[in-house]
Structures are given as C-alpha cells and as structure tokens.
C-alpha cells in the first residue's frame, strides 16, 4: 500500500500508527518519491529507506548489486587476498633472513655453497653427455666399417647406439634443468642480500631512534 506525501504527513501527525509500525520511502522509475508500509517488489531490490513511527529515517537499504558489480567485488576480494598472502610471505621471509643470517657474508657463503652443489650436477651431466657422445661416435664408426666390408651390422650395435642417444637426451634435460636452477638460486640470493641490507638498516635506524628517545 502506498501513500501520497500529504496523506503520509497527516498520518504521522495524527500518531495513528502503531508504536512499532514500519514505513518505507522509495523512488520510482520516474523519480517520484513514495511512502508506504510495503514496497512494490520491483523496488525492493533498489535503494530505499526504512522510517520509524515519526517518519525519521532509521535505516537505508542499499540497492542490490548487479552481476557485473558482484563479479568486480569477487575480483577485488581475490586481489586483496593475494596481496595479504604476499605480505605475509614477505614478512615470514624477512624473519627467516634475520634469524638465519648474521651478516651479509653469511648469505654470500650460503649462496656460493648452493651454487657449487648445483654446478657439480651440471658438470656431472655434461661428463655423461660427453662420454655417451664418444661412444656413439665409436659405434657409428664400427657400423660404417662393417658396412664397407659388406657384412651385416648386428642389431645389438644399433640398440646400443640408440640407448646412448637416449642417454644424451635425458642428461641434456638434466643439465639444462640444473642450469636453470643455478640462475634461480643466484637471482634469489641477490634478492635476499638486498633485502637483508634493508632490514639491517631499518634495525639500525630503530636502535638509533630508541637511543635518542631514551637519552643515552
């Protein structure tokens, strides 16, 4: 039931409404203001005000969000959650850095140790590749020699050649993976070292501030 503004005012002045009666105010599609004890269904999802028995606004109901607005809210929430996780991860990393390493030199030593371990794996893979390639070269020379003498090449020789070629392929991937890991560790520790410097500088500045505030 809707009431024109004048009638609504009369009702309020006469105080004929029950003590706990609820009234609402809403704007229709033509921009006209309406008052009533019930809101038409089509306007319930739009912004409207809830009024008390004196006609004073006690609550405003926001308009229902569109699908696009809801999707944008979900996107923003995901971004906020992602940012919070990154901030938490960064804080944890900072704590580990300060708890694990005392000086920048400690970080450099740790980095070099990690890089040397990976580098040794690269050298091992390259050694296997070189050895397999030499075997392949020798066996292929055998195949050529056998063919020149018009003899039949043993199938086992071809199989050994194929096996060593597979070994080369596998170890090449292993070597490339270790090289990639080498670069990742180097970049990671470069970030660690730079961050460690910043954290140490912040701690020093904080100590200086406390010293000055303490007057000693």
Name the residue among 53, 76, 49 with its Cα closest to residue 63.
Answer: 49
Q: Taking a C-beta distance cutoff of 8 angstroms, is the pair 53, 18 a contact? A: yes
User: What is the pLDDT averaged over residues 106-133?
Assistant: 97
pLDDT tens-digit series, residues 21-61: 678 888 888 888 888 888 887 777 788 888 887 778 888 88
Domain ranges of the chain: 2-61, 101-203
Q: What are phi and psi of 57, to 5 degrees?
A: -70, 125
Q: Which of 34-38, 76-80, 107-111 has the lowest mean pLDDT?
A: 34-38
Asked whether the CA dihedral 112, 115, 116, 117 is positive or negative, the reply is positive
Alpha-helical segments (H) within 37-154: 41-44, 67-100, 104-148
Retrieve residue 145's tokens. Answer: 């020699």
pLDDT tens-digit series, residues 191-209: 999 999 999 999 999 888 8
Among all chains, which residue has been given the structure tokens 């038409």? Answer: 40
Among all chains, which residue has been given the structure tokens 């199989």? Answer: 159
Domain 101-203: CATH architecture, name and number where available: Orthogonal Bundle (1.10)
């Amino acid at each position: 039931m809707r009431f024109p503004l004048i009638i609504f005012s009369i009702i309020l002045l006469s105080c004929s409404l029950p003590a706990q009666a609820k009234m609402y105010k809403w704007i229709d599609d033509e921009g006209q203001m309406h008052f009533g004890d019930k809101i038409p269904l089509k306007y319930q999802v739009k912004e409207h005000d809830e009024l008390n028995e004196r006609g004073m606004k006690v609550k405003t109901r926001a308009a229902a969000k569109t699908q696009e607005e809801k999707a944008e809210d979900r996107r923003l929430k995901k971004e906020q959650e992602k940012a919070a996780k990154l901030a938490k991860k960064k804080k944890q990393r900072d704590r580990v850095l300060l708890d694990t390493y005392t000086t920048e030199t400690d970080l450099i030593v740790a980095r070099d140790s990690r890089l040397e371990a990976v580098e040794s794996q690269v050298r091992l893979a390259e050694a296997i590749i070189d050895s397999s390639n030499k075997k392949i070269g020798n066996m292929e020379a055998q195949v050529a020699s056998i063919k020149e003498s018009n003899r039949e090449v043993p199938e086992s020789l071809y199989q050994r050649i194929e096996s060593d070629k597979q070994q080369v392929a596998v170890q090449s991937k292993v070597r490339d993976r270790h090289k990639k890991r080498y670069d990742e560790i180097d970049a990671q520790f470069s970030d660690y070292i730079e961050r460690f410097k910043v954290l140490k500088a912040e701690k020093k500045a904080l100590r200086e501030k406390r010293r000055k505030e303490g007057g000693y």
